[in-house]
Structure formats: structure tokens, C-alpha cells
Amino acid sequence: MLLELRLPITDLRIDAVLVGSHPGTDTMAVVIVENKQWSRAHLVPYSELVSLSSKPGARSYVHPINQAWGYQQVLKGFVPLLRRTPVRFIANLHNAGAETIEGISLTKVPGAELVNSPDRIHGRMFGGHQREAFAEALRQVLSDNQADEHAQELLSATVRSTEPLMSAIADGLGDRTIFPMLNEQREAYDYVRGLLRRSRESQRKEVVLIVGEPGTGKSVVALELMRSLNTDGTNSVHATGSQAFTRTLRKQISGTRAEELAFAYFNDFTNAAGNSVEVLIADEAHRLRSHSKKTSQRPQVVELIETARVPVFLLDDHQSVRSNEVGSVALVHEAARNLGLEVHQIDLRHQFRCGGAPEYIEWIDRLLGLVDDRPPEPWAALENFELRVAPNPLIMEDFLRHRFEEGFGARISAGYCWPWNKPESGRLLNDIVIGDWKRPWNSSAKHHLGRVPPSFLWATDPGGIDQVGCVYTAQGFEYDYAGVIFGNDLVWRNGRWRSDPRANRDNQIDKGRGFDLTVRKIYRILATRGLKGAVFYSTDPETTRHFVELGIPKVGAAGARI
């Protein structure tokens, strides 16, 4: 019995994992047990969520069976050892009686996903009155034969990232899940589906706001909703303010069953009729503009709210960087209040990027002075996320290419401190020159130039390894290892950060008072794209020294870790 087993890629833990053999064999068998002390629980109307009180507005929770199912999906997805191993899951409500167990049965929820899933034969729920039935269910699938050996196998098993988000979309937007959803992710997903059912019955508009930092799974929730809504024929649209993100989505689904899905931009709804869409999913909503067009009468956020019966906004207050990006939690609440509408807000807290290490995100925020005025803390090595500093860009690139050759995704991005030249005679120019090291920005062409992808595919096409990306091509994406070049627009001097708008070539951002905050937010975005690790390099020697003095390990020659 493994208690409080940490899940791969996240900071969540499973209550108990039972490991043994399938009865009568030596084959490994695994059972996930989600324990709940609840004595009473009730289904939340219209949804798969549960609450501990029948009073309206009571706090809702992910259904314990869906919670355990999510844990199973993560283990099978990230631990290759378990992909051919029976992994069952059980919810153990040891204080609950028959009335409670019967009352929250998912068979009572129309369209409940697990009820119609092949996994339904593996997911069961038991109450306190079913102790013998619980024990018998375990005996049918688990014996103690070679239990110690199998447990050690599992604890020492290789953990491997699943496909990056964009690589999984073409298959996933058809009729299966793209990525497993856990806790608040699953809660947000079930909550939106429940509000859609309620909206259809009451003909009332429901506004949803899903808030989360980098790596908390906002886009996973958005795309899982699109998959689910597409499966049941709901009129839904996914919209962003990012050309790179939306064009990549369109590219990924080209030629698949999911081509009928609508992927749009925020400014496509100026003339849309009210409630013409059932669900509008505004992903990366921190990139909302004040108005879609100069001639628009309504604010862009109002256009989106009025277009859909259930508008869903997903955002991070720290990720708007351009001067015309106004999306925020406060903006959505104010717009809804002015329209006489309530906002249902869900906060995503658990990390699914950066190795599932919220400590890294918190450290980056402290490093860049985004949380308070205290000096950054020394770097403390993490088990599940690797941070390095390189003395020059060539050694950074060598390190990342070694990871790339090992089968991991890797990219270098940089602050916008060099001019961006258009391709000449079908080839890119070396825009970024740092000593003898020269590389081009990602291509501004609208099509491939040989193996060089267009900018919107830079983060996902293998050819992107040869160019340097910026915040606009990196934002919203992920790869295993992120190389970050800090330019002279943000340097460390006399115990604090100094920003210099003169060193920045981006004419889309505020070069006035807001520049200092904006440039630190940009480097935060670039530094949080990695799933497994990051490498920093600064063109300013004093800043690189600062990273070393904070205790970040150096990268040696030829990509070696030292």
C-alpha cells in the first residue's frame, strides 16, 4: 500500500495506491483508492459535481469517482510501465450510508461521461455499509503475490511526459479525452457543462471565469470542453486573441473529424447576434482588447458575453503584455455586472507545467519582483524541474539540442531586443547576434521556407529548434525544455532590476511608465513554458552573475550538466 503517492507532473497526491498481482498470475495489478470521510453528499443539480450540503450555493467538489478516474489517466499516461497494466480505481466513502451512495450515483446524471466510458467497469464506489463488498471487489482484482517487487517497480518506474498539448489535439478533439483533468480542472469542466444544462432549461445567460497561472491547465480545460461539446453537437466556438495559438489549432485539426469545430478570434464577434452561440470559450482572455475595431461601439468583452448563452473566459492577470491588451479578472466582473449578470469564478491552483512544481512558479515571481519588494531567494533544487544557467548562448543551445536529440521538445526564446528582418530570397537572416553566435528570429513568412516553419508553428514544428522565438510565439504553448535569453531591456544592478525601454525593439508594448512591469511579465512567460526544465542566459554579464550567485547550477560545454 503506497500512501500519499505523488502524481507525475503535478503537486497532487493520491490517497492510496494498492499494488500487487492479478489473482492467479504474476502480472502487476494496481488499484487507486480515493478516500472520503463524507457522511452526507448530494449531486449538484445539472452537473456531475457533488456538495456536502443540499442548500443552494453550497461549495461543490469533483465527484470522487471522476477524481479517481483522473488519477488513473495520469498514471497510465505518464508512467509507461502502467500502459499495459490493469489500473482500477475505487472511491471509498467509509462514513457514508446507502442513501448517500445511491444519491450521488453518476447513473443519475444525464450524459455522465464515465457511465458511457469503457472505464466504467473499473470505477466503483463503496460506502460504510459495504465493507465486505469492498474487500471482495479488491480480492477479485488484486493478490499479494510479488507485491513488494511490483511496488518497487512502480516507485522506480520511468516517468515520461505525454504528448505536448498541440500534438495531442488532432486525435483528441474527436471523441476521446485529450489530457486527463484533475481536481480544479475537472471541477471547472463539470461546472461549465452543468451551467450549460441549466442555461438551456432556464434560458438564462451564465458567465464563467476560470483563472489560473501558467501551467494550471486553462487551455486543457478549454479544449476538453470543445471535445465534449463537439461530441454532443453543441453549438460552440473557441476564440483567442493569439494568431499563433488559433492558427496552430486549425493546423492541428486539418483533415480530421474535428474540422467542423469553430476556432475564431476575439474580434470576429462585432456583428454577431445575441445568444447566437451556445458556448463561447475565450481562451487566453488576458489578451482581450478594449474594442474589436476602432468603429466598434461595444467593448470587446461585452461583445463576447452577449454572443453566447454561456461565455467562458480563461485568463491569467499576469500574462497581458501589449499595451492594447486589457483582459483581466476585474474587467470580466465589471462587464458582467453592468449587464446585470453574475460571474461564476473558478480558480485553478495546482500546477501541470514546470514539472508540477508550484515552487518554481513562486520562485520566478519572486525573482522578477512580481509579488513583493523582497529580494529573490536562493534557488533550491527541485526533484521534478531542472533549472540551469549558461555562460553563453552557444552552450545554452548545445544543452537544449542534446535534450532535443534525446526526444524532448526544446526551444530558445528571447526578449525582443534585436530587429526582426523579413526573409530574403527565401531564407531567414541572422537577426540575433551575440558575439560569434548568430540565429534568426522565428519566420514571419506565412508558409514553410524549406524546413523552417511559419511563426505560428514555431513552438510545435520540429524545425522551430533552429530559430529563436519571442513572447508572441511562445505564449500559450509548452515544450519540455525552455531556453530564455534575457536581453538588455532587463538587467540586474545594485540589488534590483533595471528596465531599459531603449533596448527593446517591440513597438507593440508601452514604453512609458508601464514598461518596467510589462518586460518582467514577458520574461515570466518565457521562463514558464518548460514542462521539465529551463536554461537562462543574459546578454548582461552582471545579470548572468546574479543568476549564478542565486545558486542556479551552470551548464558546461557540449550540453553537460555541472
pLDDT for 131-143, tens place per residue?
999 999 999 999 9
d(CA 331, CA 417): 31
* C-alpha closest to that of 367 among 487, 471, 470, 497: 497
Q: Is pLDDT larger for residue 18 or for residue 447?
A: 18
Residue-level pLDDT at 383: 80
Q: Give the single-character DSSP code of 304.
A: H
Cα gap 304→311, rounded to integer Å: 7
| CA-to-CA separations, 277 to 196, 306, 370, 446, in angstroms, rounded | 12, 9, 37, 30
CA distances from 491 to 69, 124, 335, 483, 500 (A): 46, 56, 38, 17, 8
Only one residue has cell 461565455, namely: 311
Q: What are the cell numbers at 336?
A: 458582467
Binned at pLDDT 50, 70 and 90, residue 297 comes out as confident
Q: Is the pLDDT of residue 337 over 60?
A: yes
Asked if residue 379 lies in contact with residue 389, where contact means CB atoms within 8 angstroms, the answer is: no
Sign of the CA dihedral with 400 first, then 405, 410, and 413 last: positive
Cell of 496: 534590483
**pLDDT tens digits, 142-181:** 999 999 999 999 998 877 655 454 444 444 444 444 456 7
The C-alpha cell at 296 is: 466598434
Quick check: 94 pLDDT over 70? yes
For residue 353, pLDDT over 70 is answered with no
- DSSP code at position 488: T
Helix axes 300-307, 329-338, angle to 10 degrees: 60
The helix/strand/coil state of 114 is helix
CA atoms within a 13 Å half-sphere pointing along the CA-CB vector of 362: 11
Q: Indicate the DSSP class of residue 85.
A: S
386: helix, coil or strand?
Answer: strand
Residue 245: predicted pLDDT:
63
Name the 3-class secondary structure at 60: strand
Give percent above pLDDT 90 in the chain.
51
Of 38, 61, 350, the residue nearest 190 (C-alpha): 61
Percent pLDDT > 70 in the chain is 88
Q: What is the dihedral of CA 469, 475, 480, 483, to 10 degrees?
A: 40
Confidence (pTM): 0.68
When the pLDDT of each residue in the chain is averaged and rounded to a whole number, the result is 86
What does the DSSP assignment read for 422-447? PPBTTB----EEETTEEEPBPB-SSS
CA distances to 212, 278, 348, 411, 526 from 301, rounded to whole Å, are: 19, 16, 21, 33, 26
Q: What is the per-residue pLDDT across 478-490, written as a single tens digit (0 to 9) for each?
A: 888 999 999 999 9
Q: Would you report the helix, strand and coil content of the chain in percent, each value rounded to 5?
A: 35, 25, 40
Task: Please enumerate in sequence order all residues whose Cβ is within 8 A of that of 131, keeping only pairs 6 or more positions apart, or say none.
Answer: none
Over range 270-290, report the average pLDDT. 91
DSSP 539: S
Q: Which helix (H) or strand (E) holds 263?
A: strand 262-265
Which residue type is seen at 181? M
- 284-293: per-residue pLDDT in tens? 899 899 999 8
Give the whole-angstrom CA distance, residue 169 versus residue 323: 31
Q: How confident is the model at residue 426 (pLDDT cuts 50, 70, 90)?
A: confident
Alpha-carbon dihedral 272, 274, 275, 280, rounded to 10 degrees: 50
Nearest to 465 by CA among 483, 438, 447, 446: 483
User: Is the predicted pLDDT of residue 230 greater than 60, yes or no?
Assistant: yes
Provide the pLDDT for residue 335.
Answer: 96
Q: Can you state the angle between helices 165-172 and 218-231, rounded to 10 degrees?
A: 10
For residue 445, which of 466, 428, 462, 463 has the smallest C-alpha distance?
428
Q: 460: helix, coil or strand? A: coil
Residue 16 neighbours by CB under 8 Å, 6+ apart = 1, 2, 3, 5, 32, 33, 35
Q: Which amino acid is at 271?
A: N
For 30, the enclosing helix (H) or strand (E) is strand 28-36
3-state secondary structure of 270: coil
Q: Which amino acid is at 61?
A: Y
Q: How many of the other CB atoms lie within 10 Å of CB of 360?
A: 26
CA-nearest of 460, 345, 186 to 442 is 460
Phi, psi for residue 519 in degrees, rounded to 5: -70, -35
382: exposed, middle or buried (C-beta count within 10 Å: 0-12, 13-18, 19+)? middle
Residue 383: Cβ-neighbour burial (10 angstroms; 0-12, 13-18, 19+): exposed
Backbone angles phi, psi at 125, to 5 degrees: -130, 135
Instruction: Kindly give the pairing relationship between strand 410-414 and strand 479-486.
Output: parallel
DSSP designation for 452: B
